[in-house]
Structure 1
Amino acid sequence: MVDRRSRPGERRRGHRGQRFIAHWSLQFIIDRQNALGADGNRIPPPGQRIFEAISDTPMISIAANNGQAWGGGAELSWACDLRIAGESATYGQPEVGLGIIPGAGGTTRLARLIGPTKCLEMIVDGRPIAATEALQLGAINKVVPDSDLRDAAVAWAAHIAQWPAWSLEACKRSFYDGQDLPLGAARRNESQIFFDVSGRDDSLALMAEVQARYDQGLDSFDAIGLPRPDTV
């Protein structure tokens, strides 16, 4: 997901006006707090539902940030499965300065990405961090030159998309299920998913094809179809 208003290769004047996505309208939040639903309760913002839908889809999502991802923009990034950024990108949770808290993953998904210590620092400090620091913390996966962001994100997505959809979905399900379970239960869940997916006819056929390549003397790079390190 790349902000269509500013292409990665364009020269930019800092981050003024350049955003991954615009944060929530503050007036919208105020209006929602003053509005009541049919049941008489306040109507929550729709952001949580949108981000949950992104997180829950069986597809692998990649957030490609070429600018300022603060507040809801950062939380959209945390809701995606993978994150890549241009060198000048920033991430921040400045909600504390508005008298509120991050409400769509900034205190939860982010904590699972970078741990409680740094997450708490980001949400109570309020200041944004550069893409390079986000990479060091584990909040994002890759940083590339701004001019390469779009091509790098598309190439990464294309590489992942070559793998079987059922295998990607199973990997994602086991990963996220395991974060919410004790280790023993997570391991049992992982083993069950492995058993289920490895018994599929299409998985059995694919494993047989790869085994045949091994039998022909190919190494793992060529047998599985992985790029060699000097071409990654």
Structure 2
Amino acid sequence: MESVSAASGSTAPKGPESLQSLAVGCFASICRDRLADELLLFSRRCPDIDIGVHEMPRGALLPALRGGDLSLAVLPGGPEPGTQSIGLWQDRVLVAMAAGHRLAASAGVEPSELRDELFLTSQQQFGGDMHRFLARRILPPGSALNATIIDLGPPKILDRVAQGAGVALISGSHEDHVGDGIVVRPVDAPGALFPVRAYWIAEEPAEPLAGLIRSLKERSDTFSADAC
């Protein structure tokens, strides 16, 4: 299990609610990056608690939570049967493109304007899962974007985008990590805005999970104010 100060792993350990450890699962880096400061602050308040952060596919998070492999799961979605949850922030779908791209001068992008674009998708760090999730938020049922999967990490994918090799879907939580030579534009679609929630199981969770939930509740208004 990795601590909040280390790079995230993808395998959740057993026994997450032991006295001094918490396993927090998140959907790729959409939630890890946004939660990093809050988890670090909590770990400083409670230095005897080891928080392991685990990036996982979106579809695996709630089963892992229900199966006892995670203490807390953070992912896009609404209330789920058999869980407790709080809304943390509203995220949104963005398109990253080279600064000289034909759509860069627009304030926003319609899904119809993306039909002829080549979308670059990372094969690593659940990049394909992220692309599919974001694409489904903006497209009608049965539609798909022209995407190619490349065996490069997300930062290298964005390097290709900056070079004009294609465009990429990212979430608003990633916008601050976009480098020079790239502009991002919101997609104008009804589903482009989506909620991100924290989920847990017990109605009255034990410490230290209860303390982390209290901390997230205290910060939920700040998260919302920071949302795109």
Both structures adopt the same fold (TM-score exceeding 0.5) = no
Q: Which has the higher contact order (CA 8 A, sep 6+)?
A: 2
Q: Which of the five TM-score ranges fits, normalised by the shorter chain?
A: under 0.3
Higher strand proportion (structure 1 or 2): 2
